[in-house]
Structure 1
Amino acid sequence: MKFLFVLFIAVFAFAAPEKSLETNILQIEKDIADAYAKMSVNNQSIAVAQKQISDINLNIDEKKKYLAKRMLAQKSVKSMSWFLALDTKNKAILDRNFKIFKNINSSDITALYEYRLALDEVKSQQQFLEGENKKLKELTQYLLDQEVKLKKAEQEQIAILEKINSIDHLLNFKGNLTLPVTTNIIERFGSAHDRDNQYALLVKGLVFDGKDKQVVKAFGPGKVIFRDRIPYWGDSLIISHKGGYFSVYAGVENAVVKIDDVVTNEQIIAQTNGQEFYFELRHLNIPLNPLSWIRKNND
């Protein structure tokens, strides 16, 4: 599985906003994006630790069963009369018997030692997992706090936009937009998963199941600034929205728009190509969670 990382700096040359409020919004958005990145790594660590604990516990169970059988065997050996093992004048047989007892004892000691090591290892992994879960809890709370700060700053910005009658600014549409396609989301913003290579990747957008071809709609009003093929995804589109926002549509075909075309909100711009469809939203070079911009019944 591969994800699209658009080089906005190379494609677009937009100056950073001069207003302190817009700058503040950008900083909060960056902090949120960074928090998602940390949570992605954190979730991956938790998954690895959980897998290791599960594997160790399976190993412990196997060693328990082995040691239980060995205890029964030792009990059986102890019930034997020692003279039966010693009652022989054949030196070869006597040496063999001594060797058997020695190997049994050595094997049991090794098994007990490995069992103890496994117990120590699972305890260590559990402590690590507790630490990672604590980090996740702290990151989740931090993310919630930043979302509150962002909402407040955006409300102030919207009030300013209303005064200057900037109705096409994408921020005015936040909370009332719909996703460009209606198929199932298979990878969400910030998740870390690579189904093909088992590597941890930070998803900076949304990946949709594209088995059934369907129309792709514009995520707000804007202007088409990119139409070309992108490695892995194929034909793709990028729309520039007022306020320094950009939406990316990767894995499309039969596009009905061209570069410099002005589009309206929810205007049909293409259709999916029958494979996975990728959608990304950015504010300048900062990736945003598209699910924070849509109507609540559209996720």
Structure 2
Amino acid sequence: MFFMKKWTIIIDNEFKSNSKPLTLEITEKQVTMLLSVFAIFFTTSIAIIIFAQLNNLNPDALIGIYAKRDYLISSIDTGNRKINDYFTEINKITEYEKRLRTLSNLSVLSEDVRQLGLGGYDFHDDRLAMLDMSTKRLIENVDKRLFQVQNLIDFESKNVKSVNKNLLNEYDLVTHTPSVMPTQGTITSPFGYRKDPFNGRSELHTGIDIANQAAPPVYAPADGKVIFSDYLSGYGKTLKIDHGYGYITVYAHLNKFAVKEGDIVKRHQLIGYMGTTGRSTGTHLHYEVRLFDDKTDPTKYFDNDTTIE
């Protein structure tokens, strides 16, 4: 025998003293039925509301929504392809930067250092919470790749600027180094100790003598500034050029000047003409290279471009 639960509800009207209380008895089965009816009513109401809302969207509106969705997805795909192109171009720049580092005697950055330079990625947007997981991942992936592209561009931009600065410094040093033979002719007396042509004693010859009976032009072997342009005892008509980096060049026994003190000169620029002024035995150029006031052998600075054309 089964016992069914039963609840008694007593309703008393306190405004009428002589009225009898109203008594209701409800079984468990009746309560279950009432709850079921309420649930059905609630679900039906929600369905009716949703159906009414959907009916307010005409077919053209629905087509427009789907078209916009498809367009956005297509745009994201196009963006991904462009990002791939950006990565390809950045990789080319990276390889170019590596070659520049090698040419400028700078160490090539390791991949670990490059990865550290990219930084970490952290993305959060509350608006993505309403999207489905597939779309959310698609957008997050595009954002992450854009983040990486931007960081790569910033990283390589700094690297290229650093390498470029080093190359400019190297180029400036090269253009100010007296590496060109300043005139045409034959070296008749090298740098070093020799027998003096006037007194026969052994003395240090502080430069080289370049002889040419045609008295050809003399050109600046590097960029610099003329710091002396006058007659000097023993040297005759003499020019001195300060090239920076400790380099000073001297041109003695000139016949004529083509520049004056204070002039800025460039490599291969005409500065004078070979002569035989001062303590000289014939037409020639006495050429010196001084490095931080030390007289050095000019020929050790000559490169492949050793003569003026």
TM-score normalized with structure 1 length? 0.43
**Which one has more relative contact order, counting CA pairs under 8 Å at least 6 apart?**
1
Q: Which has the higher strand share?
A: 2
Q: Which has the higher helix share?
A: 1
TM-score normalized with structure 2 length? 0.41
Larger Rg: 2
